[in-house]
Amino acid sequence: MNLSWMAWTLPTALFWMGIISCILAMCVWEYFSPGGNPRVGILRFETTRGDRLFISLLGSAFIHLAWLGLVGPSLWWAMAISLVYAVCVFKTV
């Protein structure tokens, strides 16, 4: 398969593997502990862990796009910022 049209760098591959791993982990977690543990956080409306995962993944995508546009193609710092952002979302949202 010719994937030369895609920018498959190591950070890009790790980012996508991370997204797939998060979704699979959430599926397993939901299977063993259904319900999503709804809670009201800093946004002042009820969110489940699936909602928090979606918010963190969406924010991570925007962080990476902003990093590409403003800084350049080295995405290691963007990945680190995204991980910190995801932890903050799961703790406060």
Give residue-wise pLDDT tens across range 37-80.
789 999 898 998 889 999 999 999 999 999 999 998 888 899 89
Among 52, 62, 64, which Cα is nearest to 90's?
52
Contact yes or no for 78/67 (Cβ under 8 A): yes
Taking CA 21 as the corner, what is the angle to CA 62 and CA 40, rounded to the nearest 5 degrees?
Answer: 65
Instruction: Supply the pTM of this predicted model.
Output: 0.78
Contact yes or no for 42/55 (Cβ under 8 A): no
